[in-house]
Amino acid sequence: MKVWARIRKDNKTVAEHVIAITEKSAYEVENWAAPVGELCHELNLSRPIILKKHVRDLESFNHTVFKPGDFMEKVDFDRLEVELF
């Protein structure tokens, strides 16, 4: 499975990155901190706080959104979208 992250600001994609993970579905991933952390590292971001809502969205819709309030540090974008494919 691949995980795609994109940073959106003013409804425009300003950066994106894709990684491959060995799990075949979102339900197989035990800890989302590792793939999300790797994506954030590649995008030069701090890691967001991963809530149960984010995990449920990934499992149900293969998509979730992190807003600036989900980050401990100040960020200069509107949202970080993470999508599975």
pLDDT band at 84 (very low <50, low <70, confident <90, very high): very high
Contact 77, 68 (CB under 8 A): yes
48, 42, 55, 37: which is closest to 15 by C-alpha?
42
The number of residues in the chain equals: 85
- Based on the structure, what is the number of domains in the chain? 1
pLDDT tens across 8-32, in order? 999 999 999 999 999 999 999 999 9
Q: For tokens 């706080």, name the residue.
A: 49
**Owning domain of residue 72:** 2-84
Mean pLDDT, rounded, for 19-48? 95
pLDDT number for residue 48: 97
pLDDT number for residue 81: 98
pLDDT number for residue 69: 97
